[in-house]
Structure 1
């Protein structure tokens, strides 16, 4: 009887872990889709000449001008949610 209980508990745990892994995959896919949508919106805003100004971006520009590029990239990513390459490109444009 103890073996049957342990087998049932094990199956429940494995099923729960598999379910969580499946949900994680969907969240990752949703995150990727959201990032693509945000990127497309950014392209549209750029095309229209509109900018979403965030006062915290002045801090990023200050860090970039001070030569603290890594901190600037990290801060930019925290503020905007951008990926590493996008953040690096944005910080590079700030110092150009």
Structure 2
């Protein structure tokens, strides 16, 4: 049986892998951050940046500039 420390380390690696897959910069990720609906990630995956920005703004209440910068950063992380 794994120790608690080993289990935590394994979970942390899994979270980091998921963040990389989703294009989330862990340095910018807020643990209490916004819930983004699946449609956001689908738009991001399809390269529909404007739609992703719209969805992001609706989900977070962010300004247009903040949403644009965040979504573009996430999109670059997916390439």
TM-score normalised by structure 2 residue count? 0.50
Separation in 2, partners of 1:50, 1:95: 18
Per residue, is there more helix in 1 or in 2? Answer: 1
Q: What per-residue deviation string (whole Å, max 9, x for no partner) do you get for residues 52-78 of structure 1?
A: 25151x431220220111111011000
List alignment gaps of at least 5 residues for structure 2: 1-26
Separation in 2, partners of 1:68, 1:78: 16
List alignment gaps of at least 5 residues for structure 1: 1-45
Once superposed, what is the RMSD of the aligned Cα atoms? 2.3
User: 1:54 is matched with which residue?
Assistant: 35
| Structure possessing the higher radius of gyration over alpha carbons | 1
User: 1:65 is matched with which residue?
Assistant: 45
SS in 2 for 1:54: coil
Which structure is higher in RCO with an 8 Å CA cutoff and minimum separation 6? 2
Q: What per-residue deviation string (whole Å, max 9, x for no partner) do you get for residues 26-51 of structure 1?
A: xxxxxxxxxxxxxxxxxxxx68x642
Moved over 3 A (4+): none
TM-score normalised by structure 1 residue count? 0.43
Aligned length: 49
